[in-house]
Amino acid sequence: MKSFRRPGISRGTDRWSQRVTTGSNALDLEPGVFRLDDPRAIALSLKRSAERSHRRKTTPFRSAMSMLNFFINRAGKQLTDAQRQRLEAAKDELRALYDRPRRH
């Protein structure tokens, strides 16, 4: 009898989201970037990572914003309100660093 895994069911050791965050083909993130207290510092770190990367498939802005959104979405309900606000503020800082309009 064949053993199979249903889609969406994890073995417990298969932490694909952690692998994406640490070994993404788009960015090499600085350690602890999402734990920084200052939203501007988070945005600057993501900008540095995106601009240094030669493996990204899109613009530095889109790569940095994608990684930030990925982290927020994967953390989900585990983020406190303060953490979520800080990361959302980092999005605005990232937009400002790249001269993009802020979202309302």
* Residues 98, 47: Cα–Cα separation, whole Å: 9
Residue 73 pLDDT > 80: yes
* Residues 96, 86: Cα–Cα separation, whole Å: 15
Residue 13 pLDDT > 80: no
**pLDDT band at residue 8 using 50, 70 and 90 as cut-offs:** low
Residue 62 pLDDT > 90: yes
Residue 69, domain extent: 37-104
The rounded mean pLDDT for the chain is 83
Structural domain tally of the chain? 1
pLDDT at 6: 54
Query: Does 27 map to a domain?
Result: no
**pLDDT band at residue 21 using 50, 70 and 90 as cut-offs:** low
Comparing CA positions, the residue from 55, 54, 90 lying closest to residue 71 is 90
Query: Does 24 map to a domain?
Result: no
Place of tokens 């640490």: 22
**Residue 22 burial by CB count (10 A; 0-12/13-18/19+): exposed, middle or buried?**
exposed
